[in-house]
Amino acid sequence: MTLPEEFKDLERFAAWALPTETERSEKRISSKMEEISEFYAAMHPRMNAILPHLSRHDVNEMPEDAKQLLYLALSLAEVAPAVEWYDQPTVIDGFDRRRYRSAPVSGSP
């Protein structure tokens, strides 16, 4: 994975650069909380730089390195409840995520 120059340090989180909700969610629920927390702690403070950087591009025509960075940002959205709400990867006492299917999204890059 290659990220834009100023975000190269985040390339160590390549495993989180996943294109679909299903994959990002599966990554979240199959990760240890320490791994999630490490990813969150590295990403969250950078978001104020990442989002304006990404938003310079047309969302439907992003260069590959920016697209990978967007996928990391979307993974941050995926793990946010694990960190901010539950302090564990899955929803506390929740319905099995694997029984909850995500269908393809329309109108989304």
State phi, psi for 43 to the nearest 5 degrees: -80, -45
18-37 residues near other proteins, rule: CB under 8 A: 21
Which residues have a Cβ under 8 Å from the Cβ of 30 and sit 6 or more positions away? Answer: 89
- Of 61-80, which residues contact other proteins (CB under 8 A)? 62, 66, 70, 73-74, 76-78, 80
- Single out the residue of 67, 60, 15, 64 nearest to residue 36, CA to CA: 15
Q: Please report how close the Cβ of residue 32 comes to other proteins at its closest, in angstroms.
A: 19
* List of residues contacting other proteins (CB under 8 A): 21, 44, 47-48, 51-52, 54-55, 57-59, 62, 66, 70, 73-74, 76-78, 80-81, 84-86, 91-97, 99-109
